[in-house]
Amino acid sequence: MKPKEAYEELVKRVGELDLLRSGYAVLQWDHEVYMPSGGAENRAATMAFLAGMIHEKFVDPRINELITTVEGSTLVSNPESDEAANIRELRYQYDKQTRLPKELVEEINKTRMLAHHEWAEARRNRDFKKFQPWLEKIINLTRQKAEAYGYDGEPYDPLLDDYEPGSAVESIADTLGKLRSELVELLGRITDAGRKPNPSIIERPYDVDRQKIFSEIVCAAIGYDFTDGRLDIATHPFTIGIGPGDTRITTRYNPKRFNDAIFGTIHEAGHALYDMGLERKKHRGMPMGDSISLGIHESQSRMWENLVGRSRPFWTYFFPIAKSMFFKSLDGVSLDEFYGAINYVAPSYIRVEADEVTYNLHILLRFELERAIIKGDLKTGDIPGEWNSRFEKYFGLKVDHDANGCLQDVHWSSALFGYFPTYALGNIYSAQFFNQARKDIPNLEKRFERGDFIVLREWLRDNIHRHGQRYRAEELSRRITGSGLDHKPLMEYLNVKFAEIYGF
């Protein structure tokens, strides 16, 4: 078989896999958004069957043969060509997916279903002890998974690599450690500041129907195209790329708080813009039509949510609109007061409710714990104690119970070790990219003030989205900004912003 034929067959097979994945995505979206509860059992069976089918079709030895036939041929001699990137990343995925014994994968999947249930129960009862044996089991299985993958550095590496391909602890730990101590310092300055915004402005009644309209206005303004998507309600908001021309977002509305829906929606729209900017149709199912990593994905959502959505230029444009729509609650409120209120910083227990400054501290705490857990340096029974003592050190708050501590997140019960740090990586990259965009686009802030946000979306599309997986995260960052992962732009941005708001 000639390499060209092999490549074509690969395109066909991967394209068909993409259709199945697209079908799966609709089932998932429906499951979270509209499915009647009576359908849960049937849906679980359908999704499990389809997922198994997708997996089997991908790990088919024929896929390996085809990749092997193309590898080393002239088709991939230019390492930056579409073909080379596709073959490189398919090889990577194929090898990783086939390295895990089937029994281990099944055992993990079975256990996480049960553990998830036990975790939810334990969290409700604020009872870590009840969850402990399940967490123990999950950790053991996850460590077996790491061993099966293999690693050069430490066992956490291949887990992190699942979400951030090509990344390893060594390449991020130093940056994350510095970020943590600088954030703790900044938080101290904020806590001690004499001037404080008044957060009660956003804790007023905000009509949900109007919040929905306002959210859609904002999404459309930043370039989310409702012809190719829709905004629905979900308990745990998410973005889902169903296929070319269909990228959906979800949010949740709090009738008494302005921040939740709007910033959540902008966040998801940021993810969606990445998905919409991928050349998914041209490279159906191929790495060139897919996103790079969770970190890069998060850099897009967080840039729109924070560096754009929580900025003064953004609200210079949108505050008058918000004021006219929510006149009852925003009457007499100035832009300055509003800007302060939406950026109010306060240490709190729950990650998903955290502000821009403390959010990363939540992540870094988890990363440090995860790493020690997987290494075997931290026993399962010691997790709550270790969590609470670190929490007090970073946040200056005593954890009152485990539902406000180590039981709060779903990730560990779902065996998602290695996932958390990608949130921090996303925040770091977001500031690096945004810094560069400000240099590349003249008067970016002025444009925002006039409501022109599309210019940034185009920059992102051009510099990041359209490349699919041509480059790994670090390399992409180097190509765009001149340097790899670097927390300095993020800290500089936060220091300047909060010094102004808190007057220090």
Which residues of the chain form contacts with a second copy (CB under 8 A)?
16, 19-20, 22-24, 26-27, 29-30, 34-43, 45-46, 49-50, 225-230, 232, 242-246, 248, 281
List all residues 6 or more positions away from 45 whose beta carbon is below 8 Å from its beta carbon: none
**Shorter beta-carbon distance to a second copy: residue 19 or 454:** 19
Q: Dump the DSSP string for 234-290.
A: -SS--EEEEETTEEEEEE---TT-SHHHHHHHHHHHHHHHHHHHS-TTTTTTSGGGS
Bridge partners of residue 233, in order along the sequence: 251
Q: CB neighbours of 67 closer than 8 A, spacing ≥ 6?
A: 10, 87, 90, 91, 94
- Least distance to a second copy from the beta carbon of 32, Å? 13
Beta carbon nearer to a second copy, 74 or 227: 227
Distance of closest approach, residue 51 Cβ to a second copy, in angstroms: 11
If you count them, how many residues does the chain have?
Answer: 504
Q: For residue 205, give every residue at least 6 positions away whose Cβ sits within 8 Å of its Cβ, in sequence order, or none.
A: 255, 256, 328, 329
The smaller minimum CB distance to a second copy, of residues 178 and 230, is found at 230
HSE (side-chain half, CA atoms, 13 Å) at 294: 16
As measured in angstroms, the least distance from the Cβ of 89 to a second copy is 22
The minimum distance between CB 30 and a second copy, in angstroms, equals: 5
Q: Give the nearest distance from C-beta 22 to a second copy in angstroms.
A: 5
Strand order in the sheet with 239-243: 231-233, 246-251, 239-243
- In the complex with a second copy, which residue's Cβ is closer, 36 or 61? 36
- Based on CB atoms, which residue is closest to a second copy, 227 or 235? 227
Shortest distance, position 394 Cβ to a second copy, whole Å: 42
411-416 contacts at long range (C-beta below 8 A, 24 or more positions apart): 412/119, 412/135, 412/138, 413/112, 413/115, 413/116, 413/118, 413/119, 413/120, 413/131, 413/134, 413/135, 413/138, 414/112, 414/115, 414/116, 415/108, 415/111, 415/112, 415/115, 415/138, 415/141, 415/142
Instruction: Check if 268 is active-site.
Output: yes
DSSP letter string, 412-464: GGGT-TT-THHHHHHHHHHHHHHHHHHHHSTTHHHHHHTT--HHHHHHHHHHT
Radius of gyration of the chain (CA): 23
Smallest distance, a second copy to C-beta of residue 398, A: 43
Catalytic member of 268, 298, 370, 474:
268
CB closer to a second copy out of 33 and 372: 33
Residues with active-site annotation: 268
